Chains A and B, each alone.
Chain A
Amino acid sequence: MARLVVLGGGVSGHTAATFAAKWLGSAHEVVVVTPNAKWNWIPSNIWVGVGEMSKEEVTFDLAPVYAKAGIIYHQAKALGIHPEGNETSDKPYVVVESTEAGKVGKIENIEYDYLINATGPKLNFAATPGLGDANGLGEFTVSVCTADHAVHASHELQKCIEKMRKGERQKFLVGTGHGMCTCQGAAFEYIFNIEHELNKAGVRNMADLKWISNESFLGDFGVGGLHMNTMGFAVSSKIFAESLYTERNIDWVIGAHVNKVEAGKAHYELLDGTMGEESFDFAMLIPPFAGVGLKAISKTGEDITTTVFAPNGFMKVDANYNAGSYENWKASDWPKTYQNPTYKNMFACGIAFAPPHPISKPMSSPNGTPITPTPPRTGMPSGIMGKVVAQSVCDRILHGADAPLHEASMAHMGAACVASAGKGLFTGTAAAMTIYPVVPDFEKYPGTGRDLDYTFGEIGLAGHWIKHILHHLFIWKAKLKPGWTLIPE
């Protein structure tokens, strides 16, 4: 009997674990280690953050789902990986610390034959003074990164709406809270959902909304922007984004590294090296992501973390980490199998794998401050990676250690993305986009780096319907309800 241990129960980890359990059956063990008791459909957190959904609608308990799937579930956080075992055993294992009520802090070793690292990110609020600290979100801003954060954000938003109803003008600042953030899309959705809600509440004329982000141009989204095939033109996402911001009367500051937050004020540095500050009554600034801080220890007890993990804490995989400057980047730099190069029974997927480099062109201010979006690895690509890695591991367990690995490079995969711009059955809108491939391949697709036959975008009510349907579809899939395998990642 072989044992697969999956670290993390988010989109990528949950997909990997549930498919592996299905393919391996009861002859082998699948173990999931995740500190969370609940699964969260994160894309809908923005609706929780404006009070249009409850926390219960975007989360569910993991334990009964894993019990149904025959998955062994440890509510715990992984602390370290011992890929060579220890001095008394060659069997690799992970050290975990329980987060389950009644067992908090209990340390346990879990042996494995194969390991999938899908821990997701640490929300690094501490990277920006005032945005938060090592314990999480600070007191000056809100977040929609978790369902609990989104509930808090909704309460704060309602307070602002009440103030506006009483005649007090309010300023909203939404975007990224550091020069190296990703997930601009979530902030994009949130600012437009706030705008939509303020309109519904009849207080839009009492609000000033401002976008602040580390993108060098609006519509970069961490993927270097995209050109879409629209009305016979290859139109840049910059045009689309600037048009939408203008239409909804939202001003913007871009190329900004927020370097300090205090009560009612965010300080930032721009790509041209100038410093500025922006006041706010309500701010939602996405924190940068980092690895969760896993350690790797050799058989002799030596710290080999730098062998297994990149400096940002994400696990090294089969990527080209020596690509050098932007001019030398190639689509082939991106990993295909997500296998760790040193320990072949370890894989990393979703946000947990270390990308070879950003997708957007790296930039920094004259002061040397890097201000560049880091590459997104969430949503559809994250799910596909999880499934492909599970396929590889299952093949090796069932057909031998030499079974070929499956591939899913972000340079060969597309993504369907639906970004909400307001919720409502007949009044909602969302930007529905596809992008192919996620990582531009300028050799194969000269100019734009993408295949314009499969890269498009438009905004409208149809996009909102799709996003709402996807909300229910993916929760159905994650709960392993009948037909779940038919729903694509």
Chain B
Amino acid sequence: MEKKPEHNIKAYGNNFTTMTPGPFAVKMRTCVIWQFLRFLAINIKMIVVVRKSH
């Protein structure tokens, strides 16, 4: 069975109350087309913050 992020949760351990991404969310992190769009969006957001800070 493929190991999923939630398999790393240890009952009543440090990480028992956290959220973990599902397979789709993990896949999208390195999906080139989606990430290219995010690249544009993040750059715009960062430029706005940089402009506000100068």
Contact = CB atoms under 8 A, between A and B. Distances in A.
Interface of A: 239, 242-243, 245-249, 251-252, 380, 384, 413-416, 426-427, 429, 432, 434, 436, 454, 456, 458-463, 465-466, 488-489
Contacts of A434: 45-46, 49
B14 A458 contact: no
Contact of B52 (A252, A454, A458): A454
23 contacts: A239-B18, A243-B19, A243-B20, A243-B21, A247-B8, A413-B53, A414-B52, A415-B49, A429-B30, A432-B42, A432-B46, A434-B49, A436-B49, A436-B53, A454-B45, A454-B48, A459-B29, A460-B29, A460-B30, A461-B30, A461-B31, A462-B35, A465-B39
Interface in B22-54: 26, 28-32, 35-36, 38-39, 42-43, 45-46, 48-50, 52-54
A324 B13 CA distance: 37
Contacts of A454: 45, 48-49, 52
Interface residues of B, number: 30
Given A427-B30, A458-B42, A242 B54 contact: no
A458 B38 contact: yes
Interface of B: 5, 8-9, 14-15, 17-21, 26, 28-32, 35-36, 38-39, 42-43, 45-46, 48-50, 52-54
**Shortest Cβ-Cβ A-B pairs, 6 listed:** A242-B18, A462-B39, A247-B5, A461-B35, A462-B38, A414-B49
Contact of B36 (A239, A384, A458, A462): A462
B8 A463 contact: no
Contacts of A465: 35, 39
A247 B20 contact: yes
B45 A249 contact: no
B50 A462 contact: no
A139 to B, nearest CB: 31
Given A461-B29, A466-B39, A488-B54, A246 B45 contact: no
Contacts of B52: 414, 436, 454
A456 B38 CA distance: 13
A454 B51 CA distance: 11
Contact of A239 (B19, B26, B32, B50): B19
Contacts of B35: 460-462, 465
A380 B15 contact: no
B53 A380 contact: yes
Contact of A384 (B15, B20, B45, B54): B54
Contacts of B30: 426-427, 429, 460-461
Contacts of A239: 18-19
Contact of A461 (B14, B19, B32, B43): B32
Given A458-B42, A466-B42, A384 B53 contact: yes
Given A414-B52, A461-B32, A247 B21 contact: yes
B42 to A, nearest CB: 5
